[in-house]
Structure 1
Amino acid sequence: MANVERKGTFKVEYLQKIEKDIQERWAREKIYEINAPPTPRKSDNEKFLCTFPYPYMNGRLHLGHTFSLSKCEFAVRYHRLQGKNVLFPFGFHCTGMPIKACADKLKREMELYGFPPKFPDDEESSKAIVEDDIIPKDKSKGKKDLTRLGIHTDWRRTFITTDANPFYDSFIRWQFIRLKERNKIQFGKRYTIYSVRDGQPCMDHDRSSGEGVGPQEYTLIKMKVLEPYSEKFRKLSGKPVFLVAATLRPETMYGQTNCWVGPDIKYIAFETRNNEIFICTRRAARNMAFQGLTKVDGQVTELLELTGQDILGCALKAPLTSYNKIYTLPMLTVKENKGTGVVTSVPSDSPDDYAALVDLKKKPPFREKYGIKDEMVLPYDPVPVLEIPELGSMAAVTLYDKLKIQSQNDKGEAFRS
């Protein structure tokens, strides 16, 4: 391949020199410093104020900031050319969850590696962090980058959003006091993503990861464990014990035939504020504790730790179903990190439920493996609940047969949907 002569950078360097010289002249002549006029304005058209949502200082400014603030930049310069008094103040967001998350991360790293950090077997990285000033000391990299961009702002009026700036802090306090006086804000609870570590809600842009994730609302189905209790449950004798299933389809509860648990999943029994005992995964119990279901907000009183094997074969009284008694059976696809880890079964309308029920009915060795007796499975058939056009009143059965499903472990886009 022939050598290709690299183009020179003279033009770029020449333009960069012009940019640097002009920016130095702007700074020297203080053309961006805008003072209040000596006399009252005669009309509102004599001034122009532009603001920009001040960026979080948990990282360097990026091209997205440049794109957004360029609109302010163009507007300010346009109105200045029209002879108006223009002002473009710039703030740096140094409060909020992103800042706390960043500070906590730095704190953990300093506890682990020291300050300056000393990474094991990597002296070059430790040296680079200090020399390159990755951990900023007494200068604002944000301001430096914006100055190089040539932003039309009066840096005398810059501010940060902490009580280190008493003027801005008092302004925010004034806002909230006025809003509270007018009943525009109030204290209370709502469903949201909550940070247990920080003890407060954690909005989209407050998270280091998980942007766009919202709360998922489930309906809790209480299935009462019938006495006599098994040996594993003896400690709970005399107390009302419930397996609690999370469902998105409470209208189908008339068709319950059994309850599913994951044989190898860990569950706990904990006490609620109503002195009832709920059985579910530890993750689900923690979530309930922050929704007013426990005696002390955020605290779970664990009474037992169980596995799915310990719960299998329990007789239950489920609400609304036509069966007087149903049983807890094994399902291999139950997820520990979804819902409560307890799944109520409606095989007439859920292909997953129907496939798992057929596996137990057709495969005696599968029942024997988990100690499931015939009377816990064989008498239970799907109960029609909903009439669906083209699928009838047994939609799951129709799809199971149509798609030739062989077991609950079958995978496929049509089956999952």
Structure 2
Amino acid sequence: MPFNETCRMEERVRMLSDYDSGNWSVSELCRRYGVCRDTFYAWRSRRDSGVSDWFVDRSHAPQHCPHRTAEGLKEEIVAMRQRFPDLGPRKLLAKLSRQAPEIVWPAASTIGDILKGAGLVSPVKRRRRPIDQRRPYAAVTAVNDEWSTDFKGWFRTTDQQRIDPLTITDGHSRFLIDVRIVAPTIEGAIPVFTEAFRVYGLPLAIRCDNGAPFGSRGAGGLTRLSAWWLKLGVEPHFINPASPQENGRHERMHRTLKAHTSRPPAASAAEQQDRFDAFRWYYNHERPHEALEQQLPAEFYEPSQRPMPVQAEDPWYDADHQVRRIRNSGEIKWKGGLVFISEALIGELVGIAELETGDYVVRFCDLDIGLIDRRGRFSRFAPPRPGLREPAEPAATQNLSTIIPVQNVDHQPG
């Protein structure tokens, strides 16, 4: 028992003992012990009632509360939490309201108190909130405006097989399109995207990081995978290096995926894939989402109206472009010599347009990937990252002939 509480109880016993001695009046005792007359009479009445622990503090909770949650509702709330142990009060309220809309369920804060009273809430150390920064990603206003993709961090199953899950989500509806165990390579990723495009159609863009297999340090930041996206009419949106917060919606999904499927890991890769498939159904069709006002991603998502073509056509360029097909060496024939462009674009057509300065801009599909100067040297362009981070003081913009302004240039040759 706390020390202060023990002292208070001893004072009450002494106060009534002094009163019984007849040496003190009630007013003098009240001044001596620092209580009012009503308090004195209350403790005297409690002692005279014959209760053995009359000097102990009693609960101040009301004996009757007309707004108290019925025991039946509490049991249903606890049962739902036990069925979905990862869901918090707001998501539980959404699921309960969906399951029984005719019932007036308690507020999310009350549900939290019920879970805490049932011992279903683990205390979490509060962290200091970081300073918010400007949202780095562009607004997504409709389904299939932008998908997000990444490889979740690898881990091993209990039989020591390495697991590299490739994940794809829709940025607007948060719909989890796929979670697939594949090699973290271009060859491993292309079949997954092929199947996703066939089932759900083509998005307008895909947000990804700048590393393999999605991005590179080559011309335009392209790999064979992102170059294939461009040919299909899907624009790659590269985040800045070491900036996973710029794909924060997708990274938050990874946190839930990890908690559900890899703690602990499965016994084998096949069993782990079964967990991923079950999680995908749960995430899309059962788990309410905060960003959707506790609705389900499957209720918001619908396939794209742009079907995947049977074969990706070569890009078309304006008449003022010279067209070259990149050789197996990554080079093109240019003014009697060879100029290296990119190994990621081997076999692809690029368009080359002359600038007023006498230099030539090289374009693949709608993306400017580099510049050939008058001496025949190629300087690659850095990957475009519009709307993510303000560039440094820009150099004087060169005037292009019938094409959009050139993006930032990485002046390292080759």
Is the shorter-chain TM-score for this pair beyond 0.5, marking a shared fold?
no
TM-score (norm 1): 0.21
TM-score (norm 2): 0.21
User: Greater Rg, structure 1 or structure 2?
Assistant: 2
